[in-house]
Amino acid sequence: PLVTTGELVTRAVEARSAVAAFNIITLEHVEAVIAGAESVRSPVVLQVSENAVKFRYGRLLPLARAAVAAAERAAVPVALHLDHVQSDSLLRQAPDAGFSSVMYDAARLPYAENRAATRAAADWAHAQGLWIEAELGQVGGKDGRPPLDAHAPGARTDPDQARAFVADTAVDALAVAVGSSHAMTTRTATLDHALLKRLSGTLDVPLVLHGSSGVPDEELTAAVAGGIAKVNVGTALNIAMTGAIRDFLAAHPEAVDSREYLSVGREAMVRTVAEILRTLGAPPTA
Ligand code: G3H
Ligand code: ZN
């Protein structure tokens, strides 16, 4: 069934686990994330990033409608989250498109501007009944910038600034920079667990880890123990899908039916989703 992100994160906090949020780009991503979650009977979040909307010719609704229909028919609780939103016009489409939550991304702005923009977005989101996540201490590697850009993986969220930011903006969750970086294709990130401990001790909102594809299993487990309640995964699905399709097409140069390689790509994503959910130890739904 379709549920809200807020309830899944609250449940994860209570269970001292984390809910996984997977970035969806194609219908195969939607189907694979739900099938993977069903295979381990775990709740899951489907998230659509602003970049994915750009890829879909700027249209949110076609993918969102498919995701809602799939979520409603899922055997596990599934929530829809709009990810890395910078555009106000996209933000405003969230409720009608079936999203119960948004991540408003103004982390690229100087602190005072990030705070003001996030405050305005949070006021609007709460009036709509949406749960809202924001980011402080930019997790780098987005938008094709190499992971070695100025913000990653060395960027860090300052606990005192984070405390003031959450109080001033009233956001429901905070994405923190603790050593992960977007779009890593190797699982080699090392997290700053001492900082994570300080952040979770200082803040009374759930913390979100971005760029989780580059985080090894044991680091992920430690991050959840240290207070991460939502784990965002995107690149890992693309690695699985693209690798499987590449191998299939290399072995079957005569193939023309797109279902043949899409199904191979989809099954590879199902396995990746199940593995990550098992690592996170999300509480089974039944
Ligand atoms: O918001 C999305 C995530 O931070 C995904 O990051 O593609 O590096 O796993 P990733
Ligand atoms: Zn992210």
Summarised one tens digit per residue, pLDDT across range 184-243 is 999 999 999 999 999 999 999 999 999 999 999 999 999 999 999 999 999 999 999 999
The residue to mutate among 138, 178, 182, having the most atoms of ligand 1 within 8 angstroms of its beta carbon, is 182
Model pLDDT, residue 142: 73
Task: Please indicate if the annotation marks 151 as binding a ligand.
Answer: no
| CB-ligand 1 contact for 114 (6 Å cutoff) | no
% of the chain with per-residue pLDDT over 90: 91
Report how many domains make up the chain: 1
135 known ligand binder = yes
Note the pLDDT tens digit of each residue in 111-141: 999 999 999 999 999 999 999 999 998 787 7
CA angle 122, 18, 38 (to 5 degrees): 110
CA–CA distance, 261 with 255 (Å, rounded to integer): 8
Query: Can you give 238-258 as a three-state secondary structure string?
Result: HHHHHHHHHHHHHHCCCCCCH
Task: Answer yes or no: is 285 within a domain.
Answer: no
Return the structure tokens found at 205: 């909102």
If one counts every other C-beta atom within 10 angstroms of the C-beta of residue 279, the result is: 18
Q: Where are the beta strands (DSSP E) in the chain?
A: 19-23, 44-49, 78-85, 101-104, 131-136, 173-176, 207-209, 228-233
Give φ, ψ of 171 to 5 degrees: -70, 160
pLDDT tens-digit series, residues 259-278: 999 999 999 999 999 999 99
Return the pLDDT at 143. Answer: 65
228 lines ligand 1 (CB under 6 A): no
* CATH number reported for the structural domain that contains residue 212 in this entry: 3.20.20.70
Give 36-45 pLDDT, tens digit per residue: 999 999 999 9
Q: Which of the 8 DSSP states describes residue 2?
A: B
Residues designated catalytic: 83
Task: Look up the pTM and report it.
Answer: 0.95
pLDDT for res 284:
61
17 C-beta closer than 6 A to ligand 1: no
Q: Report yes or no on 111 lying in a domain.
A: yes
The residue with tokens 């939550």 is 101
Residue 221 lies in a domain: yes
Which numbered atom of ligand 1 lies nearest the CA of 84?
Answer: 1
Q: Structural domain of residue 14, as residue ranges?
A: 5-280
